[in-house]
Structure 1
Amino acid sequence: MPDIGALRRDWFSNPRADILAGIVVALALIPEAIGFSIIAGVDPRVGLYASVAIAMVIAFTGGRQGMISAATAAVAVVVVPLVRDHGVEYLFAATILMGVFQAIAAILRLDLVMQFVSRSVITGFVNALAILIFMAQLPQLTHVGWETYAMVAAGLGMIYLVPRLTTAVPSPLVAIVVLSVLTIWLDLPVHRVHDMGELPEGLPYFTLPDVPLNWETLRIIAPYSATMAAVGLLESLLTAQIVDDMTHTGSDKQRECVGQGGANIVAALFGGMGGCAMIGQSVINVTSGGRGRLSTFTAGFALLILLAMLGDLVGQVPMPALVAIMIMVSIGTFSWNSIPNLAKHPWQSSVVMVTTVVVVVATHNLALGVLAGVILSGVFFTHKVMTMFEVTRRREGETAIYTATGQVFFASVDRFQAALGPESSQPDPANHVIIDVSGAHFWDISAIGALDKVVERMRHNGRSVQVRGLNRASADLVDRFALTDKTGVEIGLAPHP
């Protein structure tokens, strides 16, 4: 039996605001979807139908309420060579396989990879997207008349001032309606939605990709599908985390992976390209009051109605109105406090954030930027843990006691071996050596190999050696991989509760 309470909470706890927010998002999706279709080298209807299908399906299957998914640039840029060399039918087949890969990723719990994405990387991702969103508006602001700038300014004024008068209607929707009426009434010389590309007529219909079902087809589409799946999930999971933070609520990342896969499969079966979550449209939805699944569904359904029944009217919507909304999104998305925090936060965190921004903006590839940030975060973390390690030596009678504290792993083994250098090099060498590791932990076979080398070196120089204080996990590694038990060295296991 369905959970009626959860159904009501997810879908109908905020119906009026969700519906109005979804309409705003639908209008904002149109030029974006057309633009992404042009990037991919396909007919505008491929991007528009994808946005309809993905938004409507993900409303039911997704794990993050209020997040908008549709055709995206991140996926579009990946498929350019596929469409150019093999045609749009192979794009549809690749999108279906993309969805299958995303479902498999959910089963393998690859959503847990998000645990390795630091806050600095997420901040850099957000800032980079804000910059890219703003840069994407520049073509609409160059080589245009003063009317365009005036309308953008008026749109921004309404977006920020209307909420001070009333919140009954989302201010972006007010801006679109008012500026559209003025444009049509005064016949203003500004770019309109239909200038972006021809809007499709009629409804999308079910169809299977017209490709051979053989290994050659799989060989062609599999690399593209894997890349699309990875990029789509990465952007979706990061966007879900951002919406989590904006709404102070949680989300089911595994369900989101499954939902993205299902939505992409349906999109391909109705003549659409692949897609994923969109941070810009998600921010529009949230700032316009959208919180539930109804807002996401309305975005897709309203887009379908607009294309099927009101295409001529939608084509008259002035681009300056949509540019004003996207500028608002870029301003609201950018983490402005990250700028003064550059001087306040540890320099490593600031470097990670800036690196993520620079790589994303320079390459227009979100995956590369996030990967660079994650790798850099890992390097800094490894260095920090490596430096939190020391070895001290003291003499008690005829025995030298070396006390190791910290983490012994592949990055710190050189320091471990250097600190436990030949006993004969000490000013007061002892014949018996105790290596106390009760304050240390051995993490990998590199650490066990280093312990082997230290013990063997001391024994080779005529010292008796005892290793004591191994915790249980370290002792298990020693039992499995060390040579010390074969050379007569005593291993003392520290007691643990």
Structure 2
Amino acid sequence: MSSLNALAREWLAQPRADILAGIVVALALIPEAIGFSIIAGVDPKIGLYASVSIAIVVAFTGGRPAMISAATAAVAVVVIPLVREHGVEYLFAATVLMGLLQIAAGLLRLDLLMQFVSRSVITGFVNALAILIFTAQLPQLTHVGWQTYAMVAAGLAIIYGLPRWTKTVPSPLVAIIVLTAFSIATDAPVNTVGGMGKLPEGLPSFAFPHVPLTLETLRIILPYSLTMAAVGLLESMLTAQIVDDMTGTESDKRRECAGQGGANIVAALFGGMAGCAMIGQSVINVTSGGRGRLSTFTAGAFLLFLLAVLGPLVGRIPMPALVAVMIMVSIGTFSWNSLPNLRRHPLTSSIVMVSTVVVVVATHDLAKGVVVGVLLSGIFFAGKVRRMFRVERRETPDGRSATYYVTGQIFFASVDRFAHAFQSEREATKITIDVSAAHFWDISGVGALDKIVARLRRDGREVEVIGNNQASADLLDKFALFDKTGVEMGLTPR
């Protein structure tokens, strides 16, 4: 009964709002899918059919309701050499294998790697994507007449002005309808969707990729499939987190991994290219009122209806209307609070955020920016923990005994300071190392303690290590060359 309630909540909690939001997304998907097909070097119908298939399937299989998945630039740029050198059928085969790898990633719980992506990286990812979304509109705003600028301004006025009077219908949908009607009625000299590429006619058909089932084929497609799977999952997991934050709800990221894989397999079998979650369209969906799986399904189903039935009318949609929607998405996606936070937040967090933005914008590769951000976060975290480490020496009045009180985390980044604290020991004959306020994290820390004990004993000192917590004691018992009572194993005092 609870599962039925959850199913109804995800699909039918607000059908009207989800359907209207899905329609807006479907219209916004068309120029994106065509553009990504051009990037990959394939016919526009391959990107459009992919968007239809992925959106419909992931509505059922995905783990994040209201998130939009379709053909994306992040994946399209990966397959350019494959399409150029081997043809589109190898693209379909690589997409099938990509889907299988993503399903395996879900089974192996690779979604847990998202725990290592800091908030600064996510903020940088969002800001970079907002910048890329805006810059992607610039070709439609250069070398055009004043009519284009006037229509973009009118579209933005409707998008931001209409909600002051009513929120019954998503304002981006109203903007697209009004500007399309105006463009057709006046025959305005502006770019249209049809000018971006030929729209397909009819429905996609089912077919297996026409490639030889040999190890040579696997050798060709495997590197591309691995890269597409990794990039697709990275962007999908980050987008899922952003939608989580926007809606105040949680998502099943393990299910999302496997769901993305299933959707890509279906897309390839129906003549589509690979894809993943799209933050821009997901933001359009959420800001238009979409919250359930029905919004994602509607986006794919209505896109199919548009292509199969209303193709000629869709081709006459003016690009300024869609540019206005995407500018709204860019403005809404950017984390404006992050600008004053550059001064308020720790310097390291700001460096991570800015570095992520710079790398993504410079390379147009979201994966590279996130990897740089994660690496910097790890380096800064290790440095911070390293600075929190200290060793204090106290000796008895006669100077014959000394106790070293170790505080902090002992791991690969702090072992040098740990060892250096004992370098000047020359007087005491009995040394006690108290680690009750410390924690050993790895074999680097264990090895450093081994070397310290070994050196002191070779100098004729009596050494005892006390105060291990249970986790550190387990690590030392397994890897250290001495026991907790100071009885050496394999090392003999000189």
Instruction: Give the AA of the match of 1:444.
Output: D
Aligned to 2:156: 156
**Displacement of 1:292:** 0.5
SS at match of 2:405: strand
Aligned to 1:399: 401
Does residue 462 (structure 1) correspond to residue 464 (structure 2)? The answer is no
**Displacement of 1:470:** 1.5
Asked if the contact 2:49–2:267 (Cα under 8 Å) also holds between the matched residues in 1, the reply is yes
Aligned to 1:319: 319
Instruction: Give the AA of the match of 2:184.
Output: I
Instruction: Give the AA of the match of 1:271.
Output: G
- Structure 2 CA distance, aligned partners of 1:456 and 1:2? 62
SS at match of 1:11: helix
Asked if the contact 2:53–2:270 (Cα under 8 Å) also holds between the matched residues in 1, the reply is yes
**Displacement of 1:111:** 0.2
* CA shift digits 1:243-288 (9 cap, x unpaired): 0000111100001001100000000000000000000000000111
Matches of residues 76-475 of structure 1 in structure 2 within 5 Å?
76-396=76-396, 397=398, 398-424=400-426, 429-475=427-473
Instruction: Give the AA of the match of 1:437.
Output: V
Asked if the contact 1:50–1:273 (Cα under 8 Å) also holds between the matched residues in 2, the reply is yes
Asked if the contact 2:464–2:484 (Cα under 8 Å) also holds between the matched residues in 1, the reply is no
Asked if the contact 2:29–2:51 (Cα under 8 Å) also holds between the matched residues in 1, the reply is yes
Aligned to 2:477: 479
* CA shift digits 1:384-440 (9 cap, x unpaired): 11111100001124211111011111110000000112421xxxx211111111111
Asked if the contact 2:466–2:484 (Cα under 8 Å) also holds between the matched residues in 1, the reply is no
- Structure 1 CA distance, aligned partners of 2:367 and 2:249? 25
TM superposition score normalised by structure 1: 0.96
Instruction: Give the AA of the match of 1:482.
Output: A
- Structure 1 CA distance, aligned partners of 2:3 and 2:353? 42
Aligned to 2:10: 10
* CA shift digits 1:449-473 (9 cap, x unpaired): 1111111111122211111111222
- Structure 1 CA distance, aligned partners of 2:480 and 2:237? 41
* CA shift digits 1:85-138 (9 cap, x unpaired): 000000000000000000000011000000000000000000000000000000
- Structure 1 CA distance, aligned partners of 2:155 and 2:204? 33
- Structure 2 CA distance, aligned partners of 1:351 and 1:486? 43
Cα distance change on mapping 1:296 and 1:259 into 2, 3 Å: same
Question: Where does the alignment leave 5 or more consecutive residues of structure 1 unmatched?
Answer: 492-497
Instruction: Give the AA of the match of 2:127.
Output: N
Aligned to 2:52: 52
Cα distance change on mapping 1:436 and 1:2 into 2, 3 Å: closer
SS at match of 1:358: helix
Instruction: Give the AA of the match of 1:310.
Output: L
Question: Where does the alignment leave 5 or more consecutive residues of structure 2 unmatched?
Answer: 490-494
SS at match of 2:385: helix
Asked if the contact 1:438–1:470 (Cα under 8 Å) also holds between the matched residues in 2, the reply is yes
SS at match of 2:463: strand
Asked if the contact 2:175–2:321 (Cα under 8 Å) also holds between the matched residues in 1, the reply is yes
Cα distance change on mapping 1:54 and 1:2 into 2, 3 Å: farther
Asked if the contact 1:22–1:298 (Cα under 8 Å) also holds between the matched residues in 2, the reply is yes
Aligned to 2:492: none
- Structure 1 CA distance, aligned partners of 2:321 and 2:369? 30
- Structure 1 CA distance, aligned partners of 2:395 and 2:188? 90
**Displacement of 1:486:** 12
**Displacement of 1:443:** 1.2
Cα distance change on mapping 1:203 and 1:2 into 2, 3 Å: farther
* CA shift digits 1:216-240 (9 cap, x unpaired): 0001000100100000000001000
Instruction: Give the AA of the match of 1:75.
Output: V
Cα distance change on mapping 1:341 and 1:2 into 2, 3 Å: closer
Asked if the contact 1:391–1:420 (Cα under 8 Å) also holds between the matched residues in 2, the reply is no
TM superposition score normalised by structure 2: 0.97
Instruction: Give the AA of the match of 1:341.
Output: N
- Structure 2 CA distance, aligned partners of 1:336 and 1:395? 56
Aligned to 1:495: none
SS at match of 2:190: coil
* CA shift digits 1:326-359 (9 cap, x unpaired): 0000000000000000000000000000000000
**Displacement of 1:487:** 11
Asked if the contact 1:422–1:458 (Cα under 8 Å) also holds between the matched residues in 2, the reply is no
Cα distance change on mapping 1:409 and 1:37 into 2, 3 Å: same
**Displacement of 1:490:** 6.8
Cα distance change on mapping 1:247 and 1:487 into 2, 3 Å: closer
SS at match of 1:64: coil
- Structure 2 CA distance, aligned partners of 1:248 and 1:9? 15
Q: RMSD across aligned C-alpha pairs, in angstroms?
A: 1.3
**Displacement of 1:3:** 2.9
* CA shift digits 1:161-184 (9 cap, x unpaired): 011111111100100010001100
Aligned to 1:494: none
Cα distance change on mapping 1:51 and 1:486 into 2, 3 Å: closer
Instruction: Give the AA of the match of 2:435.
Output: V
- Structure 2 CA distance, aligned partners of 1:171 and 1:472? 60
**Displacement of 1:2:** 8.5
- Structure 1 CA distance, aligned partners of 2:475 and 2:424? 24
**Displacement of 1:290:** 0.7
- Structure 2 CA distance, aligned partners of 1:305 and 1:486? 73
SS at match of 1:470: coil
- Structure 1 CA distance, aligned partners of 2:482 and 2:60? 59
* Percent identical residues: 74
Cα distance change on mapping 1:95 and 1:437 into 2, 3 Å: same
Matches of residues 19-34 of structure 1 in structure 2 within 5 Å?
19-34=19-34
- Structure 2 CA distance, aligned partners of 1:54 and 1:332? 25
